[in-house]
Structures are given as structure tokens and as C-alpha cells.
Structure 1
Amino acid sequence: MLKEAIYHRAGNNYAYAYNETTLHIRLRTKKGDVDSVTFIHGDPYDWTKDGWQTSRSLMTRTGTDEYFDYYFIAISPPFRRLRYGFELKSGTETLVYTEKGFYKEAPFDDTAYYFCFPFLNGIDVFRAPSWVKDTVWYQIFPERFANGDTSNDPEGSLPWASEEPKFNNFFGGDFQGVIDHIDHLVKLGVTGIYFTPIFKAKSNHKYDTIDYLEIDPQFGDKETFKQLVKVCHENGIKVMLDAVFNHSGYYFEPFQDVLKNQENSTYKNWFHLREFPIQTEPRPNYDTFAFEKSMPKLNTENPEVREYLLKVARYWVEEFDIDGWRLDVANEVDHSFWREFRTAVKSVKPDAYILGEIWHDSMNWLHGDQFDAVMNYPFTNAALDFVAKETIDARVFAEKMTAVLHMYPENVNEAAFNLLGSHDTKRVLTFCDENKNKMKLLFLLMLTFKGTPCIYYGDEIGMTGGNDPGCRKCMEWDEKKQDLDLFEHIQSLLSLRQNHKVLANDGELKFINADEQTLVYERSTDEESVWILLNAGQRTADLSIEIPEGYSNILGTSFSGSLPGYSFSIYRKK
């Protein structure tokens, strides 16, 4: 066995409290290197005249990625304390792996050899809001969803969809437009709306905030927003707002004061200013989002800034009963601020959802003291590479997803925010070169995967668009121009996910077969099992598997040993 590949640590995603009584333990080994792993465990204080009292339990291999196998066990220590190690076997070779290293035989003269989970404290359990696990989100870019009140249109607004989206054009989308079309969302089956920023700003995207406590006039007023939240809640739809606390807009009053008064400004410590006078060209001499001069970075270490932003965080929950915050550029804000942010928000609404925009490994933000979830871009990228771009095959996709699922604790995976496209990317159908059947497979993957999925407005009716600003077209409300077949496909998947929780987060996920462009995986609980089969290739594919006895087809093509190109089958057994 390759010792260098064997890895465990007593924390993070390898050892964690799943709930108040259960620990999850994982071990990593070289791919194909180990025949079995036995978990050696005991209470560190449980000694008799015969020595330390331990038990042995066989671990389960839960997945394989490109380089490693992963083993897992769930265990409930009677006294919530645990010392433990691993016995690995490969052929005639046996190794015992402990915190102190490797041994040929398990040492039992001292528990200090072993990994330690000192005590399962309930307050340390990662807890995302329970409702999130059953939520399907719908992302709305308010300026482009629907214009329900022309009286608040910005100056120079264009007739709806009269030209292609640009970085600086306006079409008058607003809150009333969302209220007017709430039936569309109910019919589709979504249960949460994620709004990109609604606060007063100069741009059409509103990520350059002028006033965090005021709604942009083009969207309506606070009474209209209250009505919108009320209508959403009456229809079983949660509401999540987008907050930009990493940076403000250029016209944010404190920054304007800095520009006016320079080093004499009372707000000079609200930002990261490197020198005076302030300069914007050729590059700003103050910290910004990227090098965007109109987005000066806020100094969240400043007590006045913290107080202001935490007031904002509480205000929209207290006054408007929103259900969550999506946090823009969350990885560039200090951890200390996010801990205070979580405390502030949860003190008002304990089951509010806190979602961070982070595109890389996010374990540092997911210990239960900061975010409930991050945006699952590793899923996005792998799904698009597999189905839309065809740059990886099913085996590589399964390996990448296995790595993602083992990157975080299970209770973190259950709240992960899965998406295929957004206001920052090409539209899904455009990624698919307008091959609708590919797009159907992508939604099948997302809506049968662990986590909480999100649909970008208009994707459900086949809208297209390139990168920003092309992905921000006006919503198409003419049914004759909508792809109703695609709508019904996504609607059917949402109905299945709602009626069979095994397809959401109640079920385990196991890859059964991955060959060329065909993929088979199972979602299962003790009571129910669902097999999902898909062919992401153009040609009919023969699969060397058989559906177990007792399963029946509930959606898609009936499987008889082969699958046509770009098709799928879903089978269920209860």
C-alpha cells in the first residue's frame, strides 16, 4: 500500500459531527490500493484490567476519483468521545494507521497513538436551515424579468426587448413585474427566488451600491417590495437578496466624501486607500473589486463599517422578512466580519440562509460559524464539460463529482447551491450550441443531485445568450416564442424531486456505471431507490448493466439495454 496516499485528519471534511449524536469519519487511500478498511474505536477513558476497550467496524468505500478511494463510517459514540484508528488490508499486507503514523499491529497500551474527537458538542454541529434541502431556486435579474410599472422606468428606458442587452441599457424591469408573473414560477414548481441586487445603484446590474438601505427607484418602493415578499410567501416561495459587502459603488456617499475631502474625509478609513490624492487612472490607487474603479473595496475591519453593514444585514430581515442573503465576492471579506454577520442575521431569523459566492475550495467558510453554503461551481463546470462541451467523458465526470462530494461534510453538501448558469456566464442553451436535448440532460443532472438547485430566469423556456451582457436578455413572455416542451421537462423533474425526496437530499448518491458518454447513478434510502441513466453522446449506446428486478420507469425512455443519443431513463423501486 502506498502510505503517502493514505490520509485522514480529525476535523474538517474527514471527521465531523453530522448531528447531535452521530460522527462521520472518512479515510482516503490510493485508488485501487486497498481491499478493506476496519475502523478501530473506543472511548478514551474506557479501561478495564484487560486494557483499553475498543470495537472494530468495517468501513464502506463511498467513491473513487482520479487518484483516490474514499472510505466512510457513521458512528454514535455512547459518551460522545472517541479515539480511533484504521486497519487497512491489501492482499496479505496489513497496516494500522493512527495519528502517530503506521504500525504493523494496533498499539493498545496508550490511547495517545490514536486520532481524537474530544467531545461531540451540539453547538459545533453544522446546521444549515432545514427548508433549504427541499428548495429549488429561481434566479431573477430584476431589470430584465418583467416591467409591471412603467411609471418608475429609468430615464431613457427602451421598449421591452427592443434591442439586445448592453452594459448600459435599461428596459424597466421591476418588482411589480415579478408579482404579475408569480403564477409562472408556481406553475414551474420553484420554491425560492434569488434576486440579484435591488439596492440603489447607478448601473443596470446594481452591484455598485449607492445606498444599502434604499431600494433602487426603478424597481419600485419599499411597500411594493413588502408586497412582493408577501406574495412569494403566500405561494410557498422563499426570498433571498444579493448583498455586496466586499465593495460599494463609486457614488456611495462615504466614498464621494473621500473624493471631495481626500485625507480630511471622516470616511477615509472606510476604504483601503493607499495614497492621496485619490486617482482612478490608469489604475485606481485604492483597493477595488478586481481593478474596477467604480467599485472601491470596503474596509470591514473598521468598526464603523462593520456596524453599518451589520445594520443592513438585520434591517432587510427584520423589516421585510426576507429568508436569506447571497454574499457577493465573499472570499475577499475577512472571516471575522462573516462570523459577526452570521450572528446578526441568525439573531433575527434563526433559519435564514446565508450563501457565499466562492468559486474555489470553501472549507474555511463552512465550519458552521460563517456560511450555510457556497455556490457549487465545481458541479457547474464539470456538468457543462461533460454534457454541453463534451470535453470530458462520463468516467471523468463521475470522478470529479466524487471529489466534490468528499470535499465537504455531508450536511454541507445537502445545502450546496447548485447552478448551471447565471448572470455571470453564458446561458445553458448557448453552452449546448442550442442542442435542447443536451440541455435537458444538464437539468436532469442538477435536479437529481445533492444540494439545492437554481434555475436562471428564462432558461426554462429556452432563452439563449453569450457572456455578460448577452446572458441578461429581457425575459420572453410571448408563449409562441417560449420552448414549452423544455418548460414541461424541467417542470416534470421538479415534480419528481418534490414527490420523491430521495432525489433531493434524503438519498445517498452512488455512481454505478460511467463509460464514454453514458452515466448511471443511484439515489437511495433504506426505503426507496431511484436509478438515473443518461447518454450524453450523439449515438445510441449499449450499456452493460441490467435494471434490478422490481424497478419501474417513471420518466424518460424505457431502457432495454441501450439508450438513444441524448436521452435518459429514470427507474424507481419502493
Structure 2
Amino acid sequence: MSEFRTPNWVKHAVFYQIFPDRFANGDRTNDPANVHPWGAPPTPYNFMGGDLQGILQKLDYLQELGITAIYLNPIFQATSNHRYNTYDYFRIDPKLGTMEDFQNLVQEMHRRGMRLILDGVFNHCGRGFYAFHDVVENGAHSPYVGWFHIKKFPIFPYDGRKKANYESWWGIRSLPKFNTDNPQVRQFLLSVARYWIEQGADGWRLDVPNEIDDDTFWREFRQVVKSANPDAYIVGEIWKDARRWLQGDQFDAVMNYPLRDLCVEFFAKGTMDASTFATKLSRLFRRYPSEATCALLNLLGSHDTARWLTVCSNDTRRAMLGYTLLFTLPGAPCIYYGDEIGMTDEADPHCRACFEWDKRKWNRRLHQHIRDLIALRQSSTAWRTGAFEVLTAENSVFAYARWDATDAFVVLLNNSQRRWEGVVPLRKRSLPPVAALKDVQNGETAIPRGRVVRMSISPYSYRVLQARAD
């Protein structure tokens, strides 16, 4: 196996995840007949009219925020608002726009130096996918029987009173599972992967890739995608330990849900102390090869979770602490659309509400905090590709260092209602000899004594200090 390399641009990126039907409606002529008013309560079935043209029209907003890459939930033709039940893998869903709209979005993003990641559903399809539809129509005589896991005939894709008689994702009969052992199926799916990279997409987010329990498929997938664009990003939706897929021959990285789990316990719920949090966080970042670690897609929310501010019981201070960590860790931070303005609600379908474009309803404090954090992250390579080490962790106070050959920083987080004052050790491995630590927010200076520095921090707040060498 060749040396493991992940795309360099990912390590310096700030991602923004968009659920296309709910971000912005830029072309009302492609709205479905049953479209709901913008801002109507989301349900598993309703459409709000968001589209690719709407995303294109809001690139200024995203770029001003500091976003450099967009990850889109599925955009290919399907009948649902989430589009994980793909009907046509080679066609943009008409409710989202046209191929021309896609090309215009890609071209404009690339002109701005931004990247676009598509959501690939390769484990299963929708009932309207041509091959499955042929099986429905022709039964055992269909040439596509071997494309799926048919147990016996007849099959019942629409009659919930009867056994479906074929395998599907989580037993949901509207999502028939592909037989990826079939060479024709592999050829088809890999042609999809190549096609959209050739059309300008900068990578794939892979939906439930663990459901394809065959590493040879993903090895072939990597070869096909990287041959089309060696700089393409391959990131898998793996919720737990992903070492199996991060050995350099399958994915570049995964969605870092274990990080979110830790943040929920420490910041949002306060059910984990700083010492346990620090131990588990350090273990998490030692788990994978360094190339994968710096390319992890770090997140606090997605289309599959409750919104971060909601998880934090609508406490902006706790939410801000979580984002401070997110943007100062190794790995690429990803914001779920609307989280930056303080949108709230529980998990699917409620977390998939329409973006609130009325600025009067924004959480301005949170929005500005995230803008500041993005600017901080982009100010130094130490944040993006530097080393990471925990300095101290006691009760609800957590401090760590980030450094490289150019810069060194100390981050101090207080996730409690009490002011904290104490000593932070400046361990030899992490920082060069330090003459002073300057707070990047207020300019205050802390002078170390030997290899320790005395610091204080207010309740539910954070400090970021830049080291000045002797």
C-alpha cells in the first residue's frame, strides 16, 4: 500500500452542511406543486422549495462567515425531501434544479476557492430506481434480480401488510439494498462515483458505508475516485471507531460523531468531568493515522441529530464553549446550516427546518462568536495541522495547547458556574520556553514562572492565549 495521504485542502477547510430543500429558495419555478410556505413546520414528507440556485445566491453569506467548503445532502432525483431513496443517480432532482444549475454552482464555488462535497448513497436505492422497478414489474424474469437481495417472489415493495421478501436498509422497504457482490452493480455504482467527480464535485460523503460489509468495494471506490481527482475527499458516515476504514486504502476520514458525543456529555449536559473528557479526547485523536486525524470532519450537529443549541438547553454560553473546542482542534470543523445563527429543535425531522433569513431572529452573539473562531483558525497553521496536548483538566476546567514551528497557543475552557483560578503546566513536549502568554481577545498578558503559569477564567467562558517565546 502506498503512503497514506489525505487532501491538503481539507486540513485547512471550514465545512458547512446544507440540507438542500431547507436552505434557500432561489428559483420558484422548480417548486413542487405541494410546496409548503418557507418556515412551515418540517415533517418527514413536506417540501419547502430550497434548491441549488438558492445556495448559489447565498455564497456571499457563506464566504463572509468564513466557509470554504459545502457538504450537500443528496441532490439526485428522488421522491423524498431527504433524497436518500435515489431514483436516478445521474440526474439532479428537478425540484432542486438542473444540471446547468449544478455546473453553475460548482463553477462559482471554484472561482471563489470553495469546494463542494456530495452525499453518496451506495448501499441502497429507492423503489423507483430503474433496476429495482424492473424487478417489481418482471419478477424472477428481470435481468436485474441479482442486483438486489431477493429472498423469494413475489416481492411486496408497497404492501406493508406483507413481508417485503427482499433486504432493505433497516427493514425499510422503500430503501432496497444493493448486492454489491454483483460485478454489474459495482460497475454501475463506481461509474456514478467517477461521473460526479468528473462533473466538478470535490469529493463524496458516504452514507452508511459500514452497511456495505466488504472492504474491497471501498478500496475500488477509492481507486476510481482518486484516479478521477487525486485531491478528492472521501469521508464516511461512521458513528463509532473507524480504524477499519482509515488505513489509507479506503476513506480519507470520517464524520467525527465520537467527538460530538463527548461534547454533549461535557459541555451540554455536564455529566462528564474534565479529567474524563480530556482522557477520552486525547485517546480519540491518537486513534487514527495523523493524516486522517487532520482530515476528520468534526461536527456538533447534523441532519441526524438535535441542533447543538437545543442539546445545550438553549444556553448560548455552553454552545459557545463547544464551538470554541470544535474550531481549535485537529480536523476540519463542519457547521450544520442554521446552527451558526442559533436555530433550535430536536432531531429529524425537526432539525431540518428552513433557514431563518430574518436577521432580527438570529442569535447574534453565537453568530459573531463563530465568525471570530473561523478567523482565528485561519490565522495560523498551528490550529489546522499543529500538534495537540492536554495541559490540565480538573472538575469542569480544561486547558490544552496547539502548536507548530511557527506558533503556539493555549486554550482554557471553564464549563462551570464558578470562576476558576489556578496553575496551568506548560509541559516541555508541547511548548517551547515561553516568556509570556497574550490573550487574543483582550490583550492581557500572563507571565509564566518556570514551566507553569497562573491563570483565571470567568464562569462558562473561554480564553485563547498566544505564546511568545523567550
Aligned residue for 1:526, secondary structure, equals: coil
2:49 counterpart of 1:172: yes
Question: Any idea what the Cα deviations from partners look like across 1:302-323, whole Å, max 9, x if unmatched?
Answer: 11111111111111111x2110
2:208 counterpart of 1:325: no
1:563 aligns with 457
2:88 counterpart of 1:211: yes
Distance 1:405 1:452, change over 3 A: same
Distance 1:286 1:556, change over 3 A: farther
1:110 aligns with none
C-alpha deviation, 1:527, in angstroms: 3.2
Distance 1:286 1:555, change over 3 A: farther
2:390 aligns with 511
2:451 aligns with none
2:259 aligns with 379
2:298 counterpart of 1:298: no
- 1:554 partner amino acid: V
Residues 542, 562 of structure 1: 8 Å contact kept: yes
1:154 aligns with 32
Residues 432, 439 of structure 1: 8 Å contact kept: yes
1:439 aligns with 319
Among residues 126, 135, 146, which one is paired with 2:13 in the alignment?
135
2:406 counterpart of 1:520: no
- 1:555 partner amino acid: Q
Among residues 93, 118, 125, which one is paired with 2:3 in the alignment?
125
2:88 counterpart of 1:230: no
Question: Any idea what the Cα deviations from partners look like across 1:59-81, whole Å, max 9, x if unmatched?
Answer: xxxxxxxxxxxxxxxxxxxxxxx
C-alpha deviation, 1:169, in angstroms: 0.8
Residues 557, 567 of structure 1: 8 Å contact kept: no
Aligned residue for 2:88, secondary structure, equals: strand
2:22 aligns with 144
Say which is worse superposed, 181-190 or 404-413, in terms of deviation: 404-413
Residues 153, 218 of structure 1: 8 Å contact kept: yes
Matched residue pairs, number? 449
2:218 aligns with 338
Aligned residue for 1:360, secondary structure, equals: coil
Return the alpha-carbon distance in structure 2 between the equivalents of residues 228 and 347 of structure 1.
23
Residues 288, 295 of structure 1: 8 Å contact kept: yes
- 1:563 partner amino acid: I
2:364 counterpart of 1:484: yes
Among residues 112, 119, 124, which one is paired with 1:247 in the alignment?
124
C-alpha deviation, 1:565, in angstroms: 1.2
TM-score (norm 2): 0.93
Identity across aligned pairs (percent)? 46
- 2:300 partner amino acid: L
For structure 1, the residue ranges without an aligned partner over 5 or more in a row are 1-122
- 1:458 partner amino acid: G
2:206 counterpart of 1:314: no
TM-score (norm 1): 0.76
- 1:160 partner amino acid: W
1:539 aligns with 418
C-alpha deviation, 1:390, in angstroms: 0.9
- 1:176 partner amino acid: Q
Among residues 386, 399, 402, which one is paired with 2:282 in the alignment?
402
C-alpha deviation, 1:526, in angstroms: 3.3
Aligned residue for 2:399, secondary structure, equals: strand
Return the alpha-carbon distance in structure 1 between the equivalents of residues 389 and 149 of structure 2.
48
- 1:381 partner amino acid: D
2:146 aligns with 269
1:554 aligns with 440
C-alpha deviation, 1:348, in angstroms: 1.1
1:279 aligns with 156
Question: Any idea what the Cα deviations from partners look like across 1:172-205, whole Å, max 9, x if unmatched?
Answer: 0001111111111001101100000000000000
C-alpha deviation, 1:549, in angstroms: 3.3
Aligned residue for 2:44, secondary structure, equals: coil
Residues 246, 289 of structure 2: 8 Å contact kept: no
Largest Rg, 1 or 2: 1
Return the alpha-carbon distance in structure 1 between the equivalents of residues 268 and 343 of structure 2.
16
2:449 aligns with none
Among residues 387, 390, 393, which one is paired with 2:270 in the alignment?
390
Residues 415, 452 of structure 1: 8 Å contact kept: yes
Among residues 226, 245, 261, which one is paired with 1:365 in the alignment?
245
Return the alpha-carbon distance in structure 2 between the equivalents of residues 488 and 231 of structure 1.
26
C-alpha deviation, 1:152, in angstroms: 0.1
Return the alpha-carbon distance in structure 1 between the equivalents of residues 64 and 365 of structure 2.
14
Return the alpha-carbon distance in structure 2 between the equivalents of residues 213 and 411 of structure 1.
32
Return the alpha-carbon distance in structure 1 between the equivalents of residues 463 and 440 of structure 2.
8
Residues 557, 568 of structure 1: 8 Å contact kept: no
1:109 aligns with none
Of Structure 1 and Structure 2, the greater helix share is in 2
Question: Any idea what the Cα deviations from partners look like across 1:238-295, whole Å, max 9, x if unmatched?
Answer: 0000010000011111111111111111111101111111135455321111111100
Return the alpha-carbon distance in structure 2 between the equivalents of residues 184 and 250 of structure 1.
37
What are the equivalent positions in structure 2 for 1:42-121 lying under 5 Å apart? none
C-alpha deviation, 1:546, in angstroms: 7.0
2:382 aligns with 502
Please report the RMSD computed on the Cα atoms of aligned residues, expressed in angstroms.
1.5
Distance 1:504 1:555, change over 3 A: farther
Aligned residue for 1:239, secondary structure, equals: strand
1:456 aligns with 336
Aligned residue for 2:16, secondary structure, equals: strand
Return the alpha-carbon distance in structure 2 between the equivalents of residues 340 and 546 of structure 1.
48
- 1:149 partner amino acid: D
Return the alpha-carbon distance in structure 2 between the equivalents of residues 283 and 537 of structure 1.
53
C-alpha deviation, 1:453, in angstroms: 1.1
Return the alpha-carbon distance in structure 2 between the equivalents of residues 452 and 469 of structure 1.
26
Aligned residue for 1:545, secondary structure, equals: strand
Of Structure 1 and Structure 2, the greater strand share is in 1
- 2:222 partner amino acid: R
C-alpha deviation, 1:550, in angstroms: 1.7
For structure 2, the residue ranges without an aligned partner over 5 or more in a row are 427-433, 447-453
Question: Any idea what the Cα deviations from partners look like across 1:47-67, whole Å, max 9, x if unmatched?
Answer: xxxxxxxxxxxxxxxxxxxxx
Return the alpha-carbon distance in structure 2 between the equivalents of residues 193 and 175 of structure 1.
12
Return the alpha-carbon distance in structure 1 between the equivalents of residues 116 and 62 of structure 2.
13
